[in-house]
Amino acid sequence: MQEDRELDEVERAVVERVAQREHDLLELLRRLIAFDTVTHTPGAPPRQEAQLQHYLGERLAARGAAVTVEEPDAALIAGHPSVPNGFSFAGRPQLVARFRGVGEGRTLLLNGHVDVVDVSPRAQWSCDPFAGLVHDGAVWGRGACDMKGGVASMVLAAETLAELGVTLAGDLLVNTVTEEESTGAGGLIAARTLKADAAIVPEPSSLEISVACRGSLLAAITVEGRAGHAGTPPQHPDSGGSVSAIEKAAYLLDALRRLREEWTLRPRHLYLPAADCVVTRISGGEWIVSYPARCRLDCHIEYLPSANGGDPAPAVRREFQDWITRAANADNWLRAHPPLVEWTYGAVPPAEISAEEPVVRTIVGVERALGRAGRIGGFDNWHDGASLIREGGIPTVCFGPRALSVAHTIDECVPIADLVGCAQAIAVSAMRFCGVRAR
């Protein structure tokens, strides 16, 4: 059963106050976008993650939260398959703000990441990606959708409850992390150090209550060729002729296309699309007048949760390797020079919770009370909520403004109405989930 009931007087006052603070919400998001928190490769220096986290910390402390902004000890997550050796949080602190409850209510965690992907190619943007332009009913800029918009909504929701003196029975935690776009390390730290009865991650879900997400694997396929002068007539490889590693890699590209087709034909998940494999980068060749001796295909694999709740990553890896091996065995050169498949760091598992979890029922009920459908669905990509579920045992939903299809795009944007609606739903959901002390 969903928790369907009309908004009470206090909840209506919160909803109205969030709407009145629309300008504050937009200015908060514009400020967040202005911080350069573009994701990094391991070992790269930090950008403005620390400045952003301290800015949020000061805001939330001013509303009465107990705030910590600290660089965690990376030893807490050392050895995890998504985290590279030597990883450090230096210059990239994590924020936890606790609004303490006054009773025996449940604890709700609001979690969002503040890192964003690169803006390249910047010349294609129609506006400054760090300006936070407000235009045509939306806010435009890198991270507006993924996911500084969601972070702004959850922060304003918490601030509004504090401003109106809404006394929660349980604790409300606001947690902003880094590394989601690179290693997931920030979410891992949260999962291993924070305790909560449930969590909301406002990634861009089109205000759909997402109870499942796909996992990700990163594979690199290295194809061997035989170097030689590009100006010489072709010779058979058995006679010492040159072999283009790029042409042989193209043979595997076709095999991967067939693998994607195979995956789409399998039984569908209730909330998620089929497993998929996208070749995200091709690199090869040594000199402009030489046959390329090596070519590398980088692949991003999305895969589904298993019915028993385990991580099917080993089975996915085996199937992928076997598929490449079978394809290579059909070609004389590749059979004699098998492609090398390597699995790089960054593997993150899928996750799923029951649609009957109290946090799901709560948000569905709130959405309906706000006049929206309260749809339950799935999030196509991985997000930090999967770590909260798997590593922390915290039932977590993804519920946020705009859609994943807009994330990482040129001219990324988020509708103002989505931002306000998300903040309203999170605020009321916190009241219902944590409980409110009667006045």
Same domain, 392 and 333: no
Concatenating the DSSP letter of every residue in 197-240 gives SEEEE--SBTT-EEEEE-EEEEEEEEEE-B--BTTSPP--GGGT
Is residue 4 one of the residues assigned to a domain? Answer: no
Shared-domain flag, residues 375 and 231: no
Q: So what's the pLDDT on residue 136?
A: 97
| 56 and 176 co-located in one domain | yes
| Structural domain ending residue among the three candidates 293, 317, 343 | 343
Looking at residue 2, what is its pLDDT?
46
Q: Look at residue 1 and tell me if it is in a domain.
A: no
175 and 85, same domain (yes or no): yes
Q: Which residues have C-beta within 8 Å of that of residue 415, sequence separation ≥ 6?
A: 137, 138, 401, 402
Mean pLDDT within 178-196: 95
Q: Per the residue annotation, which of 159, 171, 179, 180 is the catalytic one?
A: 180
Q: What local confidence, expressed as pLDDT, does residue 28 receive?
A: 98
Asked if residues 390 and 118 have their Cβ atoms less than 8 Å apart, the reply is no
Phi and psi, residue 302, nearest 5°? -105, 130
Give the containing element (helix H, strand E) for 297. Answer: strand 294-303
Q: Contact at 8 Å (CB) between 217 and 301?
A: yes
Backbone angles phi, psi at 100, to 5 degrees: -75, 135
| Same domain for 191 and 93 | yes
User: What pLDDT, in 10s, does the model give residues 54-81?
Assistant: 999 999 999 999 999 999 999 999 998 8
The pLDDT of residue 308 is above 90: no
CA distances for 166 relative to 135, 363, 364, 427, 435, angstroms: 33, 18, 21, 10, 10
Please give the residue range of the domain that contains residue 427: 9-212+350-434
Residues 6 or more apart whose CB falls under 8 angstroms from that of 20 comprise: none
Same domain, 388 and 339: no
User: Of 293, 315, 343, which residue sits at a domain end?
Assistant: 343
Tokens of 363: 């948000």
CATH (domain of 150): 3.40.630.10
Give the number of domains in the chain: 2
CATH number at residue 333: 3.30.70.360
Closest CA to 222 of 143, 156, 298: 298
Q: For 75-92, how does the pLDDT look when each residue is reduced to its tens digit (9 = 90+)?
A: 999 998 888 889 999 999
| Vertex 384 angle, CA 382 and 388, to 5° | 120
Question: Is pLDDT of 1 > 60?
Answer: no
Q: What is the pLDDT of residue 133?
A: 98
φ/ψ of residue 111, rounded to 5: -125, 135
Same domain, yes or no: 297 and 246: yes
Q: Is 134 exposed, middle or buried (0-12, 13-18, 19+ CB in 10 A)?
A: middle
Of 361, 395, 355, the closest CA to residue 377 belongs to: 355
Residue 19 within a domain: yes
CA distance linking residue 21 with residue 19, whole number of Å: 5
Rounded mean pLDDT of 206-212?
Answer: 98
2 domain-assigned: no
What is the rounded CA–CA span in Å between residue 337 and residue 251?
A: 14
Lowest mean per-residue pLDDT among 36-45, 163-172, 224-233: 36-45
Residue with tokens 């089975």: 315
Q: Please, what is the average pLDDT of the chain?
A: 96
Half-sphere exposure of 50 (CA within 13 A, CB side): 10
For the sheet containing 276-284, what is the strand order? Answer: 276-284, 294-303, 215-224, 340-343
CB 187 within 8 A of CB 392: no
245-268 b/e (C-beta count within 10 Å ≥ 16 → b): bbebbebbeebbeebeeebeeeee
Residue 384 domain-assigned (yes or no): yes
11, 115, 179, 224: the catalytic one is 115
Confidence of residue 154 (pLDDT cuts 50, 70, 90): very high
Element (H, E) at 160: helix 148-163
pLDDT tens track for 236-281: 999 999 999 999 999 999 999 999 999 999 998 999 999 999 999 9
Judged against a pLDDT cut of 80, whether residue 327 lies above it is answered with: yes
Whether residue 368 is predicted with pLDDT greater than 70 in this model: the reply is yes
Please report whether residue 3 resides in a domain.
Answer: no
Phi, psi of 148 (to 5 degrees): -65, -25
115 catalytic residue (yes or no): yes
Residue in the block written with tokens 């590749």: 334
- Rounded to whole angstroms, how far apart are CA atoms 213 and 303? 9
Residues 52 and 181 in one domain: yes
What's the confidence (pLDDT) of residue 433? 98
Per-residue pLDDT at 438 exceeds 90? no
d(CA 274, CA 256) in angstroms, rounded, equals 15
Domain end among 309, 343, 377: 343
| pTM value surpassing 0.85 | yes
In a shared domain, residues 44 and 180: yes
Distances (CA, A) of 394 to 175, 193, 197, 211, 385: 14, 12, 6, 12, 9
Please tell me whether residue 392 adopts helix, strand or coil conformation.
coil
**pLDDT given at position 439:** 59
Q: Are residues 227 and 322 in the same domain?
A: yes
Give the mean model confidence (pLDDT) for residues 165-187. 96
Instruction: Report if residue 439 sits inside a domain.
Output: no
Q: Cα(139)–Cα(160) distance, rounded to whole angstroms?
A: 21
Asked whether residue 407 carries a pLDDT value surpassing 80, the answer given is yes
Question: In terms of domains, do 320 and 385 share one?
Answer: no
Round to whole Å and give the CA distance between 225 and 247. 9
Average pLDDT over residues 283-301: 97
Cα separations in angstroms, 103 against 168, 169, 170, 335, 405:
8, 4, 6, 67, 41
Instruction: Supply the pLDDT for residue 278.
Output: 96
In a domain, 121, yes or no: yes
Q: What is the pLDDT of residues 396-406, one digit of tens each?
A: 999 999 999 99
112 and 78 fall within a common domain: yes
